[in-house]
Amino acid sequence: MSARAGGSPRAADAVSTPHAPGAIGPYTQAQRVRAGELEWLYTAGQVGLDPARGELVGGDAAAQAKQAMANLRAVLDAAGFVFADVVKTTIFLADMQDFQDVNRVYGEAMEGALPARSTVAVAGLPRGARVEIELVCVRRVAEGPR
């Protein structure tokens, strides 16, 4: 565990990988939290940014959702989690007309995992993105890294 100013131990550790877009503000890609025998992962929202170019992928909401899920997979990999560990997802859409296309891409990427999920329409997303997705994961510490 890392230490806070003043030396007290933190219950959370930042997770970062170059295989997903870096934070564009004062936040991290994810925070790993240990609570007893459980380890939680809270990801920041990911949009369809190509991590190599730092730009949104071309195309429609489905293409952006596919890249957002690839970015989330990279963050999960860096933290030692998998999509089967996801217990809650929030999807933010710039236009609810994109729901079916994003839902299809999301379902394919989740590999059969069925976490709780909320999907909401928002007035806008970073960099003009059409979709943003965030995850909450949990696993037993005894399982170790995957």
SS3 138: strand
The domain defined by 12-143 folds into 60s Ribosomal Protein L30; Chain: A; (3.30.1330)
**pLDDT value at 12 more than 60:** yes
pLDDT of residue 2: 43
pLDDT value of residue 125: 95
List the chain domain ranges.
12-143
Q: How far apart are CA 46 and CA 132, in angstroms?
A: 5
Residues 91-134: pLDDT tens digits? 999 999 999 999 999 999 997 778 999 999 999 999 999 999 99
- Grouping H, G, I as helix, E, B as strand and the rest as coil, residue 100 is helix
pLDDT tens-digit profile of 32-87? 999 999 999 999 999 999 999 999 998 899 999 999 999 999 999 999 999 999 99
pTM as predicted: 0.88
Q: What's 110's DSSP letter?
A: T
